[in-house]
Structure 1
Amino acid sequence: MMEDIDRKVLRILINHSRMTQTVPSIRKLCIKTGRSDSDIRSILKKLADMGYIEWNPQLPEQVKLLESPGRQESPSRYR
């Protein structure tokens, strides 16, 4: 189940990428959410494990949004 902060980060990723064609940096996510770097990394890992994004901790600034047609809360829902 997705927690509020997970949903918030996902919405920030979707909205930012929609407006700028890029994803926000981890630093920007920290500023927008008030969370620490390690919290954001943990949330990104969780979103990746849940199938919402592709994210490699070795390349932390490279996030790719995924669409899952069968998923109840697909990123396309926010577009």
Structure 2
Amino acid sequence: MLPDLERKLLRILFNFSTQRGRVPMMGELERMTGRRKEDILDGLRALERERYIHWPDSPALAGIQVLEAWDRGAR
């Protein structure tokens, strides 16, 4: 199971990209998660390590692609 922040980031990335057709900007992620930029970046790196997202242009958020939208351990 993913920790709370990573699970929240994954849901935000998936929902935001499907509804608005783009990845949220850092300020939007900070507002939606209530976390600092450093914490968000750590969470995104963890999601990339676990292969939930593909992030080729780190640290630019625009290139993030969601590979798997749900926590594997939650099923």
Q: TM exceeds 0.5?
A: yes
**Equivalent pair of 1:14/1:65 in contact (CA under 8 Å):** yes
* Letter paired with 2:32: K
Identity %: 35
| Matched residue, 2:4 | 4
| Matched residue, 1:37 | 37
**Equivalent pair of 2:16/2:23 in contact (CA under 8 Å):** yes
RMSD value, Cα: 2.2
Structure 1's unaligned 5+ residue stretches are 74-79
* Letter paired with 1:62: G
1:63 equivalent to 2:72? Answer no
State the distance in 1 between where 2:34 and 2:26 align.
Answer: 12
Structure 2's unaligned 5+ residue stretches are none
Considering Cα pairs closer than 8 Å and 6+ residues apart, tell me whether 1 or 2 has the greater RCO.
2
4+ residue segments displaced more than 6 Å: none
TM-score, normalised on structure 1? 0.77
